[in-house]
A and B are shown apart, each in its own frame.
Chain A
């Protein structure tokens, strides 16, 4: 039981990455600067929501990542940056939170701001009416509302939790194993069981015991 518990804990420890990661976020605002009192605004809102959601899907892409790398000069590849980037719409708002997670805190901050800036620039670059090129972003007013701060503290890698869970899992496995082995053990264990199964009286139960031989004690 102790062995399986320790093995489980060890597996939890080994499978936990030792590398630290840093995460930081920038926020983009999408939409007009003027809030118009328009009775039709209710009908326009669904359309803007779709645009915001669409932008959130476009941001973590290699196209934007390339431009972010070019602007920020970080030593990363476009696919890896795209993989490290996450864009989510803040519920009920026109804000998009651009989050980057990277082992280097400086890189994480540069990329978060770089991706945000690159995307805003892409929005400004697209001219309606002209043929859209791959990677072009429809025009809709957007700007960086909040730049990404420097991530001072790394993310928790969950080592303690994983070791604990691994140990608990190993303990449970040993308990199940013991129960299974006991169930499969068809040997004589108790007098009561023997009497019941054989319908014969148990005349004695002789204990397992150890003795010191007289031969060894004479020697």
Chain B
């Protein structure tokens, strides 16, 4: 078993995010949640993937969808294929069952055999992502996914450069904005918030990512500052910078159920 350093603070913060999200979605059935950011490269994909894994480990049925048709990255983090996905499903070229992938969590994370999460990649690049997403088919796709899952997480493009998230936001139950500490200008986040609200998106809250110790004046309440105690087992870790999610001991190839999807 390869050994590695992993700060527990990161895991704790994801668990707290999961917990707070549960509270925010308590009165919503079959919620789908947009995870976005104001600008590119603020870590929303890493956050959405780790949140999905955390939810799955907590025995929730999770579907993680990569809705960033312009710059898909989730499949790389999960070690999944991206040959066909959202684009093919929306264009009617593939059925959803063929595009959906099941990614198993290792027992060390889940505490038991079996649990995993469902992943839907972007598929092939399209020339008109905003127009493709702004269609009744997208709404039907999300509804279909939500009917079979406890939560659907949508990893979407950043708000300010393109309009894709504004389209998706009003189809979802709510949105989370990921910001990067000491990099994202507050005015940018404010502008993203205003745009989302104007486009009828319900905002659930904000995640401060890549928070630095020197700014820690608000530590414990938000899942930071629990120290460096070693976890009892090796959990799934995610590299923060341009990240790879590795399930412990798993191959880099995806664990894809060929024929037998619970969904």
The interface of chain A, by Cβ under 8 A from chain B, is 185-195, 197-198, 200-215, 217-218
Give every chain B residue within 8 A of A188 (Cβ-Cβ): 179-186, 189, 208
Contact A206 B189, CB 8 Å, known A187-B183, A188-B179: no
Contact A194 B189, CB 8 Å, known A205-B222, A213-B244: yes
B240 engages A201 (CB within 8 Å):
no
B186 engages A194 (CB within 8 Å):
yes
Chain B nearest CB: distance from A168 CB in Å?
A: 25
Give every chain B residue within 8 A of A218 (Cβ-Cβ): 2
A200 engages B5 (CB within 8 Å):
no
B interface bracket (residues with beta carbon within 8 Å of A): 35 or more
Contact A214 B246, CB 8 Å, known A189-B182, A203-B176: yes
Contact A217 B2, CB 8 Å, known A187-B185, A204-B16: yes
In the assembled complex, the Cα of A200 lies from the Cα of B179 at a distance in Å of 13
In the assembled complex, the Cα of A185 lies from the Cα of B185 at a distance in Å of 8
A208 engages B181 (CB within 8 Å):
yes
A207 engages B9 (CB within 8 Å):
yes
B208 engages A210 (CB within 8 Å):
no
B207 engages A202 (CB within 8 Å):
yes
In the assembled complex, the Cα of A191 lies from the Cα of B187 at a distance in Å of 15
B21 engages A211 (CB within 8 Å):
no
Chain A nearest CB: distance from B123 CB in Å?
A: 26
In the assembled complex, the Cα of A192 lies from the Cα of B215 at a distance in Å of 11
In the assembled complex, the Cα of A211 lies from the Cα of B9 at a distance in Å of 12
B64 at the binding interface (Cβ < 8 Å) = no
Chain B nearest CB: distance from A190 CB in Å?
A: 5
From DSSP, what is the main secondary structure of chain B's interface residues? mixed
B75 at the binding interface (Cβ < 8 Å) = no
Please indicate which of the listed interface residues B43, B190, B211, B240 has the most CB atoms of chain A within 10 Å of its own CB. Answer: B211
The 8 A-B pairs at the shortest CB distance, nearest first, are namely A204-B17, A205-B222, A217-B2, A203-B205, A214-B246, A212-B4, A201-B205, A208-B210
Contact A203 B21, CB 8 Å, known A186-B186, A197-B186, A208-B240: yes
Which chain B residue lies CB-closest to A201? B205
B131 at the binding interface (Cβ < 8 Å) = no
In the assembled complex, the Cα of A191 lies from the Cα of B211 at a distance in Å of 9
Contact A207 B215, CB 8 Å, known A194-B189, A201-B206, A202-B222: no
Chain A nearest CB: distance from B83 CB in Å?
A: 23
B6 at the binding interface (Cβ < 8 Å) = yes
Give every chain A residue within 8 A of B20 (Cβ-Cβ): 201, 203-204
B224 at the binding interface (Cβ < 8 Å) = yes
Q: A200, A203, A211: which contacts B4 (Cβ < 8 A)? A: A211
B129 at the binding interface (Cβ < 8 Å) = no
B217 at the binding interface (Cβ < 8 Å) = yes
B13 at the binding interface (Cβ < 8 Å) = yes
B257 at the binding interface (Cβ < 8 Å) = no
Chain A nearest CB: distance from B118 CB in Å?
A: 23
A210 engages B207 (CB within 8 Å):
no
A186 engages B240 (CB within 8 Å):
no
B238 at the binding interface (Cβ < 8 Å) = yes
B193 at the binding interface (Cβ < 8 Å) = yes
Q: B5, B14, B180, B181: which contacts A211 (Cβ < 8 A)? A: B5
In the assembled complex, the Cα of A190 lies from the Cα of B223 at a distance in Å of 13
Give every chain A residue within 8 A of B211 (Cβ-Cβ): 191, 205-208
